[in-house]
Structure 1
Amino acid sequence: MSHPPFSPAQARAARLRIGLTPDHVVSAMAQLGIHLPVQVVTLWESGAVAPSEAELFALANALWCPVPELMGVRPRSLREHRLARQFSAERLALRIGMDVHDYARAENEHRWNGTDRQTLMLADALDLEHGELLRVIGGAGELDGLLRQAVEGRWKQYTASLARLVGAPERRVAQALRTLHAEYGRFNERYMGHLVARSDDARLKEIATERAAWLLALSDRFLHLVGHDARPSP
């Protein structure tokens, strides 16, 4: 497996912030079961080499800082979210009741095949809200597509599918879709109104830009309307 994301500058800054020398760092890591020569800390901070997952976890503990700070990135992928919570792949697989090889395949292939229960447990283990969960497991594309079809056409026929996808009651999903369908309709009414009135191109482009921005945020708006506590049902 490749090395995790790592920021040499952040690691050095974290060490200096609490006044530790490289010797102090390797000593603290040794107490956590990771035994390394002191030169390794310097190599990490210079960017010459990167720590393994186990070394990254131990380094974060030794420096009293969150793992994401040392990663230097905002977690986006399944692996990055796992690392941010200091789970090894084996421990997370055990936590959610999934075969470790199946879990490793999901990370490597960026394709989630877990059951509803495993998905629910994954969200709990990694503390993911539903919008982020969908992005992590690859369901965001399906959500975006269904929502676009719902607001542009007959929204009622998409209620059941969307309720299953986001794990929310059909009643709340229906209310959200009704609201979104009306909002989308108002964009079209404004655009057609200005088109008939032969408004200048600048005004038409302004409305089109507003609608494009609204569509870009459609999934987040929908999840807000149905409630942030929505989770896939086990």
Structure 2
Amino acid sequence: MHARPPFDATAARRLREALGMTPAHVAYGMFAAYGVRVSPTTVAAWEQQEEAPGEDEIAALAGALWCAPSDLLGTPRTLREHRMAAGVPLADVAIKVGIPVAQYEEVERTGRWTGNDRQAAVLADLLRLPPRTHLELTGRDARLREMLRSAASVRWQAYVRPVCKLLPAVPQPNVERVLERLNDEFHKRSFASLSWIDTSSEAANGSVDAGHRYLADVVEHFWELLEAL
């Protein structure tokens, strides 16, 4: 069973008041236009954070308040919550992504992505997922981490296409610039203390540790550099 989605009670009350509506007006609008029956008391309880609406109720409430579902939700955390924020029914997502409805429902329930890269790209576009969120929610962030570690420490050019395949929304020139920068930064740290003047084991160990620390946080470095472009 799904947990209740995050709900912004303050936003719901503000939107209702801006429209000059009472909880009774909202309840009537939800039933008249969307067939979702709730009492004015329930609407008021949502606004007081005493209760929380479910997925169908949020969709109907958004319609009654003339807003998008995302306006009534807190920060989406799961694939289901991002779908709700985008206002797309579960069955529509499954059909457009190209997987059986039952399979997609299981993805949302378990949090384990079972589609392929092409389907993941369609999902990201349909739900307007930011690249980082997209990778995390489809469980492919570990693949990116391994690619970035290799790109930083070996030949970055060989990883441009694989990274672009994982992040189709990111322009290739941006990926190239960031991978080159990661590679440059890693080698600067790794060999900063290694020179013909100082070849002591202590200096060598320090430079190796600096390189290892950089690789340990390589994903964070990647997103920071990408956002800075």
> How high is the TM-score relative to the length of structure 1?
0.74
Q: Aligned partners of 1:178, 1:8: CA distance in 2, in Å?
A: 46
Spell out, residue by residue over 1:89-125, the C-alpha distance to the aligned partner (whole angstroms, 9 max, x if none): 1222123222111001111111111133322321221
Amino acid at match of 1:125: L
Q: Aligned partners of 1:14, 1:38: CA distance in 2, in Å?
A: 16
Amino acid at match of 1:22: P
Cα pair distance change 1:32/1:150, threshold 3 Å: same
CA contact (8 A) 2:149 2:215 kept: no
Amino acid at match of 1:55: E
Please name the residue that 2:31 is paired with.
Answer: 30
Q: How does 1:128-167 map to 2 (within 5 A)?
A: 128-156=129-157, 158-159=159-160, 161-167=162-168
CA contact (8 A) 1:143 1:219 kept: no
Structure 1: where are the runs of 5+ without partners?
Answer: 197-203, 228-234
CA contact (8 A) 2:62 2:68 kept: yes
Bigger mean CA offset, 25-34 vs 176-185: 176-185
Please name the residue that 1:7 is paired with.
Answer: 8
Query: SS at 2:120's partner residue?
Result: helix
CA RMSD in angstroms comes to 3.5
Spell out, residue by residue over 1:176-231, the C-alpha distance to the aligned partner (whole angstroms, 9 max, x if none): 533321132223344658xx5xxxxxxx9xxx6x9589735333257569x9xxxx
> How high is the TM-score relative to the length of structure 2?
0.76
The percent identity for this pair of structures is: 33
Q: How does 1:53-202 map to 2 (within 5 A)?
A: 53-72=55-74, 74-156=75-157, 158-159=159-160, 161-167=162-168, 176-190=178-192
Please name the residue that 1:220 is paired with.
Answer: 223
CA contact (8 A) 2:97 2:123 kept: yes
Q: Aligned partners of 2:181, 2:118: CA distance in 1, in Å?
A: 30
Structure 2: where are the runs of 5+ without partners?
Answer: 199-205
Q: Aligned partners of 1:169, 1:216: CA distance in 2, in Å?
A: 18
Amino acid at match of 1:105: E
Bigger mean CA offset, 19-28 vs 44-53: 44-53
Spell out, residue by residue over 1:52-86, the C-alpha distance to the aligned partner (whole angstroms, 9 max, x if none): 211101111212233233222x2232111101011
Q: Aligned partners of 1:18, 1:155: CA distance in 2, in Å?
A: 55
CA contact (8 A) 1:144 1:218 kept: no
Q: Aligned partners of 2:172, 2:23: CA distance in 1, in Å?
A: 57
Amino acid at match of 1:20: M
CA contact (8 A) 2:148 2:218 kept: no
CA contact (8 A) 2:27 2:39 kept: yes
Q: Aligned partners of 1:99, 1:9: CA distance in 2, in Å?
A: 37
